[in-house]
Amino acid sequence: MSVTKGTPDFGAVTNFEGDAATIALRGRVESGSAFELGAILDAAIDRKPASMVLDASELEYVGPAGLLAVSNAEKRLAVLGITLKIQSPSTLVNRLVGMMELAEVSRLERALPGHGHLGPEQLGERGDLTQRFASSLSSEDLRRLTALPADPDVIDGALRLIVELARISIAGADGVSVSLLRHGVLSTVAASDQTIMAMDADQYSTGQGPCVDASIKGHWFHAESLDTETRWPAFTPQARGLGIKAILSSPLRAFEKPVGALNIYSRTAESFEVKDQESAAVFAQQASVILSDARAGVSDTQMAIRFQEALRSRELITLAKGIIMGREDVDDESAFKVLLRSAHAEGLPLRERAGAIVLSVERPDLRTKGGPDD
């Protein structure tokens, strides 16, 4: 028996085979359809199923209200001793569920999106490992491991959720947006309303403003009161004209390069307190992880440069370990420990300590006087 409900944007089909319930979801769960989703889940749980699966393969997006509905259903099912399974979630849905920290309790049924269910028997000799892996890895991780290219829609969807969460949870936030550098051009990929869209656009066109500076310089900018702000003379009057009094822009990074900014706007001057700045930093960090996963805004050339940097550090550390191995007659791993201890003693990153050791051998005249003899 099955019951179909829905609107053009959202649909659900509940199917009972005996007492095993499957609810197939389609489309987008925004705040309106979240109520409907909650009712559908409740109706199914009222029938006291022995198991329950949410088929999310056709689900495109779930907002915070929808996630809350799923979370409530999980709690009700837990009372009945049943674990809700979420089947074949898309990368985005999985990301969203994970972001709301539901992943821990959801016991997502792992499957690669678009590949149907991939059971251990299909995984060849890595099956055992992959099966164990699957119990703790999200399908997002599996997607990344299989190196499928990142879908810009997925990134945008996740960033929209961050904008929504930041607006709800940061006191004094009247509007939130995310700006992203794509092919060297800044644009707004998510904004809570049109005024905020316009505010970002004014910054791009004047080349001024906290959002532009945070995106390019990679550190945060806080305009506490635009009435007294002097840093962005071309932009500030336009923002005041739209009723904005305070702006907080936190940088977004992918592979440690600045690629955009999370911008929070307020109609009240000095409305962002220290705790709001901290919350903004947390949201910016979440967004940065998503962008890094997707390698958004980072060109192949930038990746190559970063990789060359890493190789140079690695060579330096290898050299330093070699020197220690020769000096102290120890193996590679013990040499690493010696290097680590001496870096800690000096309060230096490993690379810098390694550099100093290599230099001390190449240029004995620079060696610290009174240091240990060879």
Partner 1 sequence: MTEDGHDALDVLDAFRQEAGLSHGELWLRYFELGGMSTGFDVEAFLYGVLAPSSHDHDVIAQALNERFAELGGNHPVPYATV
Q: Which residues bind to partner 1, rule: CB under 8 A?
A: 104, 129, 132-133, 135-137, 141, 144-145, 255-256, 285-286, 288-289, 292-293, 295, 306-307, 309-310, 313-314, 317-318, 321, 333, 336-337, 340-341, 344, 349-351
**Distant-in-sequence, close-in-space partners of 341: CB < 8 Å, separation ≥ 6:** none
**Distant-in-sequence, close-in-space partners of 224: CB < 8 Å, separation ≥ 6:** 246, 269, 270, 272
Q: Which is nearer to partner 1, 17 or 128 (CB)?
A: 128
Apex 166 CA angle, 164 and 168, nearest 5: 70
Q: What is the 3-state secondary structure (H, E, C) of 93-156?
A: HHHHHHHCCCHHHHCCECCCCCCCCCCHHHCHHHHHHHHHHHCCCCHHHHHHHCCCCCCHHHHH
Q: Is residue 72 within a helix (H) or strand (E), and if so which, with residue range?
A: helix 64-79
Q: Which is nearer to partner 1, 327 or 351 (CB)?
A: 351
CB of 83 to partner 1, least distance (A): 11
The Cα-based distances of 211 to 91, 97, 192, 207, 308 in angstroms read 28, 28, 15, 10, 30
Q: Which is nearer to partner 1, 208 or 288 (CB)?
A: 288
CB of 56 to partner 1, least distance (A): 22
The Cα-based distances of 82 to 49, 75, 162, 210 in angstroms read 9, 9, 31, 49
CB of 120 to partner 1, least distance (A): 14
The Cα-based distances of 13 to 84, 270, 359 in angstroms read 16, 49, 69
Q: Are 282 and 240 in contact (CB under 8 A)?
A: no
Q: Which is nearer to partner 1, 12 or 284 (CB)?
A: 284
The Cα-based distances of 245 to 197, 264, 268, 272 in angstroms read 16, 11, 5, 11
Distance from C-alpha of 337 to C-alpha of 345, rounded to nearest angstrom: 12
Distance from C-alpha of 78 to C-alpha of 84, rounded to nearest angstrom: 8
CB of 298 to partner 1, least distance (A): 10
Terminal Cα-to-Cα distance of the chain (whole angstroms): 83
Q: Which is nearer to partner 1, 39 or 129 (CB)?
A: 129
Q: Which is nearer to partner 1, 117 or 126 (CB)?
A: 126
Among 259, 261, 248, 250, CA closest to 293: 259
Q: Which is nearer to partner 1, 5 or 144 (CB)?
A: 144
CB of 320 to partner 1, least distance (A): 10
CB of 237 to partner 1, least distance (A): 35
Q: Are 161 and 60 in contact (CB under 8 A)?
A: no
CB of 202 to partner 1, least distance (A): 29
Q: Which is nearer to partner 1, 13 or 338 (CB)?
A: 338
CB of 71 to partner 1, least distance (A): 18
Helices (H) and strands (E) in the chain, counts: 14, 10
Q: Which is nearer to partner 1, 185 or 345 (CB)?
A: 345
CB of 58 to partner 1, least distance (A): 28
* AA identity, residue 132: R
Q: Which is nearer to partner 1, 277 or 285 (CB)?
A: 285
CB of 341 to partner 1, least distance (A): 6
